[in-house]
């Protein structure tokens, strides 16, 4: 495939390495400078775009891909409040979108464990659930998109929780402690605590390779398709 990298930071460079190892070519690289003039004309020879930019630019980039008829894999988070509109635009233009808050295969397996554990714990309300997520200081959104996905899974299964919060600990809220330090790729910890004992599950990324590999696998899956897909379609 001929791939466009929309967002050529640390993640974009890691995706490039994986893509080349899997015998793909990189036909376009959009960085902060070239993003100013990026248009659908740039995508004429591109099979699939992989988008890892910023919450401020992601909607514009998705729109350009839709207009060009280029399938787009989106790894940027912090934009899901606009998902319904993007979904509508995708269907209207018969475009292709692959979205995920995290492309790591390990994280997506962790999400399945998280949902199952929350279902079990709904029968034991004496346990208080909370979450801690740790990421590098360059991450722009708080909490992480992965943390929000994990939180929503828990809220769906636990009758006692109706939402999440990063500012207050309330009986009906899942508290998320979001930490930004160093160059941490990503750690997510779910804790169930009682006066008797604690139950804890954790996913800890050692590097960005897992995220990059997942994004390239998603691009390979998306080529030639229309519609909306996520990691459940490839796990």
37 near 60, Cβ under 8 Å?
A: no
- 24, 135, 161, 188: the active-site residue: 135
58, burial (CB in 10 Å: exposed 0-12, middle 13-18, buried 19+):
buried
- Is there a catalytic annotation at residue 10? no
Tell me how far apart the alpha carbons of residues 102 and 64 are, in angstroms, rounded to a whole number.
Answer: 23
User: What are the tokens at 73?
Assistant: 């894999």
Decide: 228 and 99 in contact? Cβ < 8 Å.
yes
As a whole number of angstroms, the distance between CA 1 and CA 163 comes to: 41
Q: 225 catalytic, yes or no?
A: no
Distance (Å, rounded) from C-alpha 176 to C-alpha 19?
Answer: 34
Out of 10, 13, 17, 139, pick the active-site residue: 139
Give the number of other CB atoms < 10 A from CB of residue 214.
25
143 cis-preceded (ω within 30 degrees of 0): yes
Quick one: tokens of 180? 């930004």
The span from the CA of 203 to the CA of 188, in Å, is 5
**Cα–Cα distance for residue pair 43/68, rounded to 1 Å:** 7
Query: Which residues are known catalytic residues?
Result: 135, 139
């Amino acid at each position: 495939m001929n791939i466009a990298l929309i967002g050529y930071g640390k993640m974009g460079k890691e995706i490039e390495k994986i893509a080349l190892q899997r015998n793909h070519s990189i036909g376009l690289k959009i960085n902060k400078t070239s993003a100013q003039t990026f248009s659908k004309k740039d995508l004429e020879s591109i099979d699939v775009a992989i988008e890892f930019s910023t919450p401020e630019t992601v909607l514009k980039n998705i729109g350009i891909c839709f207009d060009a008829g280029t399938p787009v894999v989106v790894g940027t988070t912090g934009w899901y409040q606009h998902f319904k509109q993007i979904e509508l635009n995708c269907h209207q233009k018969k475009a292709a979108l692959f979205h995920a808050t995290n492309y790591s295969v390990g994280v997506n397996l962790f999400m399945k464990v998280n949902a199952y554990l929350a279902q079990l714990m709904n029968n034991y309300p004496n346990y208080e659930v909370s979450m801690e997520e740790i990421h590098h200081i360059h991450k722009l959104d708080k909490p992480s998109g992965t943390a929000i996905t994990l939180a929503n899974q828990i809220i769906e299964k636990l009758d006692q929780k109706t939402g999440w919060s990063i500012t207050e600990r309330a009986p009906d809220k899942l508290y998320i402690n979001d930490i930004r330090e160093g160059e941490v790729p990503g750690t997510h910890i779910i804790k169930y605590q009682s006066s008797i004992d604690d139950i804890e599950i954790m996913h800890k990324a050692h590097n960005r390779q897992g995220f990059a590999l997942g994004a390239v696998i998603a691009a390979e899956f998306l080529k030639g398709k229309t519609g909306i897909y996520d990691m459940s379609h490839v796990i």
